[in-house]
Every structure is written in structure tokens, then in C-alpha cells.
Amino acid sequence: MHLIDFIIGGLIANAIPHLIFGLTKTHFLGMFGYSPKGNITYAVVQFVVAIGIFCYNYHYTELLENGYLVGTITVLILYFIFGKILVKFYGKKEKVESNS
């Protein structure tokens, strides 16, 4: 393993919690402060930097040969696409009718 591989993996892995905290509007310190938009932006920046470093070092065709990286990127992209929808769907609290 090379140091650059560790950095790429660390950037992508760190992007996931920042994206989740941003989508759930949880105050969590990121590079751009505690705001949800700041955490989402930080997640996007980390993702883009990681992919850029990978493509610079290995070429984008090598991306499909690395199963771990493809799996991690797939999870992150699914969070980018469906995260807000899932938070809204599962975050709704059902109103309980009381018989008073």
C-alpha cells in the first residue's frame, strides 16, 4: 500500500459522515464550520479531491479495477443522490391520535 492510497481512502471515508451530518442538519465541525451546507460542501470537496488524486496517479480506467474504491464511491454517490430523500422519509414522525 502506498501513502497516497491511504490518503484517497481517508478522504472518501471522511466525506461520508460529513455528508450525513449535513443532510441531517447535525452540528458537526468541518472545514467550512458547523453549518449543514458547510458539511455538505466539505464532503463534496473531499470526494472531488480524492477522485482527482486517484485519476492523476493511476488514470481513471484503473478506477473500475479497484473493487473497494468502487464500492465506497457507490455508497457515497447514493448518499449524494438519495440522502436528503431518505432523511425526509424516515425523519417524519407519525402523529399518534390520543383518545382523551
Which set of grid coordinates corresponds to residue 60? Answer: 481513471
Closest CA to 47 of 95, 24, 80, 2: 80
Segment 47-90, tens digit of pLDDT: 999 999 999 999 888 888 888 888 888 888 888 888 888 888 87
Average pLDDT, the chain: 85
Please count the helices (runs of H) and the strands (runs of E) in the chain: 3, 0
- pTM recorded for the entire structure: 0.77
How far is CA 42 from each of CA 15, 58, 79, 89, rounded to the nearest angstrom?
7, 24, 14, 24
Q: Which residue has the cell 467550512?
A: 32
Is the pLDDT at 3 greater than 90, yes or no? yes
Helix axes 67-91, 36-58, angle to 10 degrees: 160
Q: Give residue 97's pLDDT.
A: 55
